[in-house]
Amino acid sequence: MAEKNVLIVGGGVAGVKAALAQADAGNKVFMVEDLPSIGGERIPQDRIISDGDFFTAPDLAAVKENNAIQVIDSAEVRSLVGENGNFKVKIHRRTPRVDREKCDDCGECIKVCPIHMYDDYNESLEWRTAVDYFNFGSGSYNVFKEDMPVCQRTCPINLDIRTYVGYIADGKYAESLATIRKKLPFPLSIGRVCPHPCEFECNRGYKDEPISICFLKRYVADHEVYNDVEPPITLPEETYPEKIAIIGGGPSGLTCAYHLALLGYQNNITVFEALPACGGMFLVGIPEYRLPKAILAKDVEFVEKHGVEIKCGVRIGKDISFDDIRKDYDAVLLAIGAHLGMSMRVKNEDAEGVFEGVKFLRDAALGNEIPNKGTCIVVGGGNVAMDVARTSLRVGFDEVNLLYRRTRKEMPASPWEVDAAEHEGIKFHFLVAPQEVVVKGGKAVGMQCLKMELGEPDASGRRRPVPIEGSEFVMDADTLFAAIGQVTDTSVVEEKHGFNIGRKFNFEVNPKTFETNVPGVFSSGDSATGAGIAIAACAGGKTAAESIHKYLRGKK
């Protein structure tokens, strides 16, 4: 029988058995294991079980001695193509931190390794140091620890938080900002508005309170502004000629533009923005009191200075057709956000005096005419609802009522926003669902509502509100705002372009590359993921930039 190459993915007990069987059958075996050593969870224990008297599992010893088996540890299978009998596999092996040629199992490194962690291979019963991971096959150690600290792992764009916060502690502000800007061009804006999921994970929180990761970012960035330091701009020397169109100048589009510039496409990137200025929801969603426009402008300017051309007031699909864009550019990013308010699906929703919350915010931001008299009702419990409510108060409404179906505990809005809104005098009405807009003379005058109580938890884990029979009541108002979510206006592209549209009216993309089903067209941010948070939109933009780079280079 002709010798065959066999790939075994996973070097646990089953993998080891299979490898030996295949080798016995005369095949050449490659065994890929993610951990630094084969044998699954047994190896380190083998070394301690009998107090110095080494006990080695016979199967593992057999693998080691069998020349037909090649163990590729610290590695993962990245892709597998082909078919039966003719597979091609791509294996990614992490660089081992210990030079196996030189390591002779002296154990000195274990004594001095500074990183102390639970030994997960001994049921966390004891502590070990990070380097203390013995590789059975090679007789050498390796470093085995989490690749990223929790905060960094939680941050959608994986900012190197430990380093930038550390630099601030050392008083090295410029270095700190440079660390942030390796990934994120918006430290001023994100430092103000990010709901900072990282801080909820911060280990320091177990002791007292989390590190103020978000505001520290704002602090270093503000420090630069107040000291009139020009943010340093460094662009690569090697450049590429391909032209890239970015549709939508929000956080996602601009981050993508920034990273494309850093990759060498400076002066070949054009951002098309429908509105008179850039910033997306940073500009027309998040209100001035949370993110001043002058501050935002500095972040945008920083991106622009990287050789990014920004064309405002150009709406693709109206001023320029998508076909023209496709013709003139080698790659396209759709980062048009989610700017259409979702419908409340109640009767008379289209009556005069009922507005989409996001439209109201947009008009307020752009200085357009907006309703501002009497009482208003805001429906919704998220951060957008908070922004609408707090903005309403600021533009002149006498009374602002906020309706939410569940209780305060279930509100998705950030707690500090809810506190602030309450403090400012917004009246909260919990466990209340809108039923019908009450109309008089073609104009909305109030909302008929239904009281609710909490039932069983639903798929999201939150307890589902159920209506209380006969509890209807009417709340009067001059203006009604719906702030229950936003979706993307995908009409930029026409049906003939053949984009797959997802469940949330978003462009369907490959979640790793952010490429749409149309080759050369990418989408990121809210228009790809549905309405989310800004830092996630930035993260998407960065990944999209890397994918566009690969796409363009791959075409060569």
Partner 1 sequence: MEKEELRIGVFVCKCGSNIAGSLDVEGLAEYASTLPNVVYAPWNLYTCADAGLEEIKKGIKEHNLNRVVVASCSPRTHEPLFRSVCGEAGMNPYFFEMVNIRDQCSWVHQDKAQAESSMDKARDLIRMGAAKAALLEPQEIITSEVEVRALVIGGGIAGLTAAISLGNRGFPVILLEKEKELGGMLRSLYRLAPMDLDASEVINAKIKEAEDNPNIEIYTGATIEKVEGFIGKFDITFSANGTSKYVRLGVVIIATGAGNLVPEGMYQYDGDKVITQWELEERFKAGKVDANNVVIIQCVGARSPERRYCSRICCAIGIKNAILIKERNPEAKVHILYRDLMMYGVENEDQLRKAKELGVRFVKYDPERPPVVEENKVTVFHHLMGKELEIPQEMVVLSTPLVGTEDGVKIGNLFRAGLDQNKFFLEAHVKLRPLDCGTDGIFICGSAHYPKDVRESIMQALGAVSRASIPLSQGEVKIEPIVTTLVNKDACRGCGLCVALCPYNALEIRDTDEGRKVNIITVACKGCGVCAATCYRHALSINSFTDYQMEAQIHSFMAA
Partner 2 sequence: MQYTTDIRVIRIMCTGRMDPAVMADAFVHGLDGLLVLGCLFGECHYVSGNFNARHKINMTKEMLAYAGMNPGRLSFRNLSSAESELFVKHVTDFSAEIRELGPLGGEADRVPLPKLREKLEIARTALAGPKLRWVVGKKPVFIDTGNKYQEVFTEHEINRTLGGIVVDEMATHSILAALQNKPASVKELAKELEIPAPETLKYVLGLKRRGFLEMESVKDHTPLYKYVEQEG
Ligand X SMILES: Cc1cc2nc3c(=O)[nH]c(=O)nc-3n(C[C@H](O)[C@H](O)[C@H](O)COP(=O)(O)OP(=O)(O)OC[C@H]3O[C@@H](n4cnc5c(N)ncnc54)[C@H](O)[C@@H]3O)c2cc1C
Binding mask 239-258 for ligand X (x = CB under 6 A): --------xxxxxxx-----
Residue with Cβ nearer ligand SF4 (144 or 481) = 144
CA distances to 93, 164, 306 from 180, rounded to whole Å, are 28, 7, 16
Per partner kind, with CB cut-offs from 5 to 8 A, the member of ligand X, partner 1, ligand SF4, none near residue 112 is partner 1
Matching residue, tokens 């550019």: 329
In angstroms, give the least distance from the CB of 102 to partner 1: 9
Q: Which of 53, 65, 83, 108 binds partner 1 (CB under 8 A)?
A: 108
E strand or H helix that includes residue 438: strand 432-440
Total residues binding ligand X (CB under 6 A) = 41
Inter-residue contact 184 to 255 (CB < 8 Å): yes
Read off the tokens for 360.
């109201």
Q: Which region among 67-75, 87-95, 106-114, 448-456 touches partner 1 (by CB under 8 A)?
A: 106-114
Residue 254 CB-density burial (10 A; 0-12 exposed, 13-18 middle, 19+ buried): buried
- Say how far apart CA 535 and CA 186 lie, in whole Å: 9
By CB under 8 A, is residue 172 in contact with partner 2?
A: yes
In angstroms, give the least distance from the CB of 132 to ligand SF4: 9
In angstroms, give the least distance from the CB of 179 to partner 2: 10
By CB under 8 A, is residue 166 in contact with partner 2?
A: yes
By CB under 8 A, is residue 227 in contact with partner 1?
A: no
By CB under 6 A, is residue 156 in contact with ligand X?
A: no
Binding mask 106-145 for partner 2 (x = CB under 8 A): -xx-xxx-xxx--x--x--xxxx-----------------
Per partner kind, with CB cut-offs from 5 to 8 A, the member of partner 1, partner 2, ligand X, none near residue 272 is ligand X
Which residues are within 8 A (CB) of 474 and not within 5 positions of it... i.e. 6 or more apart? 438, 446, 447, 448, 449
E strand or H helix that includes residue 326: helix 322-328
Matching residue, tokens 């600290």: 149
Residue with Cβ nearer ligand SF4 (98 or 320) = 98
In angstroms, give the least distance from the CB of 112 to partner 1: 7
Per partner kind, with CB cut-offs from 5 to 8 A, the member of partner 1, ligand SF4, ligand X, none near residue 526 is ligand X
Residue with Cβ nearer partner 2 (130 or 333) = 130
Per partner kind, with CB cut-offs from 5 to 8 A, the member of ligand X, partner 1, partner 2, none near residue 172 is partner 2
Burial per residue of 389-398, b for 16 or more beta-carbon CB atoms within 10 angstroms, e otherwise: bbbbbeeebe
Read off the tokens for 350.
């289209």
Read off the tokens for 345.
């699906």
- Say how far apart CA 469 and CA 396 lie, in whole Å: 36
- Say how far apart CA 360 and CA 368 lie, in whole Å: 9
Query: DSSP letter at 263?
Result: I
By CB under 8 A, is residue 228 in contact with partner 1?
A: no
Query: Which of 242, 35, 274 is CA-nearest to residue 134?
Result: 35
- Say how far apart CA 96 and CA 461 lie, in whole Å: 41
Total residues binding partner 1 (CB under 8 A) = 3
Matching residue, tokens 């308010």: 341
> What is the binding site for partner 2 (CB under 8 A)?
47-48, 51-52, 97, 107-108, 110-112, 114-116, 119, 122, 125-128, 162-163, 165-167, 169-170, 172
> What is the binding site for ligand X (CB under 6 A)?
193-195, 247-253, 272-275, 280-282, 285-286, 315-317, 335-337, 339, 358, 361, 383-384, 387, 486, 492, 525-527, 532-535, 537
> What is the binding site for partner 1 (CB under 8 A)?
106, 108, 112
